[in-house]
Structure 1
């Protein structure tokens, strides 16, 4: 019998850098040397990137798409016909057989021109019907999905419900009928990409077992099945043009062979095991690639603005604060790209390292880094950043779509799970799993840790970055010791997990340490040896990260100390309780006027 894993991402046969970090162990040997894309794979990716870029520039006006809220007629069918909705699938189903990182690069290229197209490509390639082919066993379900993919049909993932996406269970139900030959699905799904036009959808639903327990299962539902009704379209604050809507299911009969047969999960999850596996890597396509593309665009817009603007006769780029802000954006683009490369290239290159932890963490890391760059750019450009691209184009100013980037990238901090909620889940469900029961390496955490032999003997890093590397190693060990001491003070795991703000701060500490580590590992790679610009990028990023880590540590100490009736946390709880119980009149809370509604 295989050993029981502590959580969904753990693999007892393969080490993970972030999993080791959670336990206070800094495994530099797992991330250095940093992976590089193989030359032949890069050539294939270059061709795909060029092809998609040319198509988008020929067929898409991103300003018009944003204004109209729709992609050109026939464009989605053209994407399907060219195989871009199944880029990693083989030629046998019309795919391109691209590696994970090349798929990421193609989506990044699409986002640099038209953000909603990139998100659609990310969702189709991560969660569309074709993405399931590698995990489907031979049989009627695999045949149905393959036929749909070969026909070039659009698909989508129907998981979110009006009650929200964070619930462990699903309100949509699947009832066994006809002595197990079929299921009847009833429920309502919202925020489904391709709901207006898609033909085959994966639908999550709750099934009651013989023992009365419920579990989520996945069903593949044809949109033209009796009882399926499309709703919407739904309009988003950003990503305008992305086809979005809902599905109402009323006694929809689904043959049993179109239900994905999966073993009972070892660990509880709101998603089925197959969907969880796809979502982990898929977030890099849906979230990280558009974040990186937009951050790079904003950096170029900011540099252009600084080069052509002056204040009181002095070039904008000559001012210290502008130079610092440009440097911070460049460093964050470098860190974002380093995170994405590590999370995908190791898998492509066949390295024996478990990347699920990093792939899961990349959602928050990349969307927040992208957001920082966009927000910094908007502030730097001032009124020209707040003005929309169409207005700037009409007055013959550079039509940099900063306002569109602001709306689009902010949505990525919500897409795939709201950032603070994912932080809480990661800490309470994954991080704590290494400290309950008390770990075998507790004695090692309590003692000071000496650096491993040869640590730091890497001349590709500058002196400052070697100092950052030593700092990270020490902080990882300290983090593990902090977690151990914290869990010893709180023997009840559920009680500690309920301290949501503390859990969020713990996970953000871990992801800061992870991002610093990956940034330094990339800077230390042989391909960047002696490159002063790369060393400066890593230095700037790590210096800022160290300041954030100090603030996080201070806030964690406050959360630990403030548990009495006179604490700020108690005051916040009293305010929340009072606010929730205030009566409302005409939709406004007592004490407000509602003016301007």
Structure 2
């Protein structure tokens, strides 16, 4: 039986703005009523954010956490007792019943103090026991998770493996024990957030069912016989975040602790429930700390530019500095806008499918914030590259940009490396709408298409021009995809052209960012607030340059033979002059009896 949708992210009952873009259709009507957080919901979030911020300011010295590579003793226990690991769970379970957006705001507030603390909050609320409560039916598994949540316990989600997270199949296996409903779990997982401190972990594993391999999710107590929790991973940044590896050797797991889901009919790397949680969860794990760092950076840039005088002239009066500041402010506005779009409607009627946008905003938020931090590093120059401790010793403002830059780099890797995320989006989502060929193919290729409906756009002339550009590029995007598909009748042949897919995903992401920023600016102006118009103009002007560059790369004639260069290097037969010099042989270590120093 053919799957009911083109891909695993689509929902036939709910439209998606980005899904429409993938098909070359610009649906301004889907975004023009940009959502605004309910005031009462905002006040609820404000209150809890105040409590969390006060706690962290009192308990956490982020520079000490970074140097010790450990969170303060007892902090995780206190976060659990306060219900911060179950922000969206019902108060009857010890949670706070927060909306998705308030949960995002809580993580962002924590990230403005300490990224490791924010990631602990995010991992529990995005992929922990409380998150799975929303998809697990009544029964023993739900009872297990409910107990963890009610006690403020800790959990983890284990999916990545030493062989690589990008593999479709999971090397970890679960084998049915003959004559029982139980399974034996065997395998190893790496990069598991909260692995060193969790009491329950969800584990993805390959199960052989009816002659076919399927990925299922098993929930395992970490004190079960055969479970080994390895040492913590030590990263370049996010030092103090409990993260490590787990090994499972003939771990017996009751069948009732397996999450059984309907087969969606699409080849996916994780189970459907986990895929949904991961999509939204990246908003908490990636977008929230990205926004927090972006906000910190623009504040530090303003403070630095305000106190610095160069040749008798305030730094903020120099043209390039003004551009750096404006671009950074506009990008921060864009990250916040995309987060609001991805989460605020998710708390309401549920009439939109936001999963496509949530997948794309992982890259959009982390890449934009990385650019902001990079500008801040350049503007602050030595004071950016210098550690906070070093600044403090010489009496300079101890801005921790160095630490946050190390933390921020993780966000382009966590949840999927940035270029690979784009590759997956291109392969699994974008191509799915052109194989088989869409019914409106001829209309898509026509240059005489109807003008896009931009009704309700309250935008100044420059931003209205940006909106028309986004609409025109959307239609052009659809034509390009169709032409690529027609020139590659074999889908797998086009799917193997990874750079093409990455460029396509990048163009669609820029169209999304422009459209949402313009929709929010329009909605704000409709309410009498014109302050977003200049930010939208700055962001869209830069986005158009990025789209034009991506388009040039996509349309360029065949270029260098990258494969030959790579193959020669991998074979060790070419470019030996680029090999690093051989290190000098280390001095032999003296035996204890020979060490007379």
Asked whether 1:215 is paired with 2:217, we answer no
Asked whether 1:581 is paired with 2:571, we answer yes
- Conserved in 2, the CA contact under 8 Å of 1:523 and 1:529? no
Report the equivalent of 2:490: 492
Unaligned runs of 5+ in 2: 586-597
Report the equivalent of 1:501: 499
Q: How does 1:90-239 map to 2 (within 5 A)?
A: 90-211=90-211, 213-239=212-238
Secondary structure of the corresponding residue to residue 185 of structure 1: strand
Q: How does 1:457-472 map to 2 (within 5 A)?
A: 458=457, 460-472=458-470
Tell me the CA shift for residue 539 of structure 1.
0.1
Q: Which whole-Å CA distance do the structure 1 matches of 2:234 and 2:85 have between them?
A: 22
Secondary structure of the corresponding residue to residue 33 of structure 1: coil
Relative distance call for 1:596 and 1:302 in structure 2 (3 A) is: farther
Q: Which whole-Å CA distance do the structure 2 matches of 1:197 and 1:30 have between them?
A: 43
Relative distance call for 1:527 and 1:109 in structure 2 (3 A) is: farther
- Conserved in 2, the CA contact under 8 Å of 1:25 and 1:480? yes
Q: Which whole-Å CA distance do the structure 1 matches of 2:328 and 2:145 have between them?
A: 43
Asked whether 1:71 is paired with 2:71, we answer yes
Give aligned pairs, total.
583
Secondary structure of the corresponding residue to residue 104 of structure 2: helix
Q: Which whole-Å CA distance do the structure 2 matches of 1:537 and 1:373 have between them?
A: 15
Tell me the CA shift for residue 395 of structure 1.
2.1
Relative distance call for 1:450 and 1:590 in structure 2 (3 A) is: closer
Secondary structure of the corresponding residue to residue 491 of structure 1: coil
Q: Which whole-Å CA distance do the structure 1 matches of 2:456 and 2:349 have between them?
A: 26
Q: Which whole-Å CA distance do the structure 2 matches of 1:551 and 1:391 have between them?
A: 40
Q: How does 1:403-414 map to 2 (within 5 A)?
A: 403-414=402-413
Q: How does 1:443-592 map to 2 (within 5 A)?
A: 443-447=442-446, 448-452=448-452, 455=454, 458=457, 460-526=458-524, 529-558=527-556, 561-562=557-558, 567-568=559-560, 570=561, 572-582=562-572, 591-592=579-580
- Conserved in 2, the CA contact under 8 Å of 1:203 and 1:221? yes
Q: Which whole-Å CA distance do the structure 2 matches of 1:241 and 1:533 have between them?
A: 39
- Conserved in 2, the CA contact under 8 Å of 1:582 and 1:589? no
Q: Which whole-Å CA distance do the structure 2 matches of 1:99 and 1:244 have between them?
A: 27
Tell me the CA shift for residue 60 of structure 1.
0.5
Tell me the CA shift for residue 3 of structure 1.
7.3
Tell me the CA shift for residue 226 of structure 1.
0.5
Q: Which whole-Å CA distance do the structure 1 matches of 2:578 and 2:112 have between them?
A: 46
- Conserved in 2, the CA contact under 8 Å of 1:26 and 1:473? yes
| Structure 1, 2-11 or 327-336: larger mean CA deviation | 2-11
- Conserved in 2, the CA contact under 8 Å of 1:583 and 1:589? no
Report the equivalent of 1:440: 439
Secondary structure of the corresponding residue to residue 179 of structure 1: coil
- Conserved in 2, the CA contact under 8 Å of 1:3 and 1:12? no
Q: Which whole-Å CA distance do the structure 2 matches of 1:67 and 1:176 have between them?
A: 46
Q: Which whole-Å CA distance do the structure 1 matches of 2:527 and 2:542 have between them?
A: 23
- Conserved in 1, the CA contact under 8 Å of 2:184 and 2:250? yes
Q: Which whole-Å CA distance do the structure 2 matches of 1:106 and 1:268 have between them?
A: 34
Q: How does 1:281-360 map to 2 (within 5 A)?
A: 281-360=280-359
CA offsets per residue over residues 103-161 of structure 1, 9 Å max, x none? Answer: 00111110111111111111110000111111111111111111121122111011111
Q: Which whole-Å CA distance do the structure 2 matches of 1:532 and 1:418 have between them?
A: 37
Q: Which whole-Å CA distance do the structure 2 matches of 1:147 and 1:329 have between them?
A: 44
CA offsets per residue over residues 551-584 of structure 1, 9 Å max, x none? Answer: 00100012xx21xxxx41x2x2111000111179
Q: Which whole-Å CA distance do the structure 2 matches of 1:489 and 1:2 have between them?
A: 25
Q: Which whole-Å CA distance do the structure 2 matches of 1:532 and 1:310 have between them?
A: 32
Report the equivalent of 1:45: 45
Secondary structure of the corresponding residue to residue 257 of structure 1: helix
Q: Which whole-Å CA distance do the structure 1 matches of 2:323 and 2:180 have between them?
A: 65
In the superposition, the TM-score normalised over structure 2's length comes to 0.95
- Conserved in 2, the CA contact under 8 Å of 1:456 and 1:466? no
Secondary structure of the corresponding residue to residue 180 of structure 1: coil
Q: Which whole-Å CA distance do the structure 2 matches of 1:123 and 1:267 have between them?
A: 26
Asked whether 1:593 is paired with 2:544, we answer no
Unaligned runs of 5+ in 1: none
Q: Which whole-Å CA distance do the structure 1 matches of 2:440 and 2:75 have between them?
A: 56
Q: How does 1:13-28 map to 2 (within 5 A)?
A: 13-28=13-28
* Cα root mean square deviation, aligned: 1.7
Tell me the CA shift for residue 70 of structure 1.
0.5
CA offsets per residue over residues 139-196 of structure 1, 9 Å max, x none? Answer: 1111111112112211101111111111111111111114232111111111111222
Secondary structure of the corresponding residue to residue 344 of structure 2: helix
CA offsets per residue over residues 52-108 of structure 1, 9 Å max, x none? Answer: 111111111111111111101100000000000010010121000000000001111
| Structure 1, 511-520 or 255-264: larger mean CA deviation | 255-264
Secondary structure of the corresponding residue to residue 220 of structure 1: strand
Q: Which whole-Å CA distance do the structure 2 matches of 1:91 and 1:591 have between them?
A: 60
Relative distance call for 1:457 and 1:159 in structure 2 (3 A) is: closer
Q: Which whole-Å CA distance do the structure 2 matches of 1:18 and 1:451 have between them?
A: 19
Secondary structure of the corresponding residue to residue 340 of structure 1: helix
CA offsets per residue over residues 292-315 of structure 1, 9 Å max, x none? Answer: 000000000011111111222221
In the superposition, the TM-score normalised over structure 1's length comes to 0.95
Q: Which whole-Å CA distance do the structure 2 matches of 1:273 and 1:115 have between them?
A: 29
Tell me the CA shift for residue 450 of structure 1.
2.4
Secondary structure of the corresponding residue to residue 248 of structure 2: strand
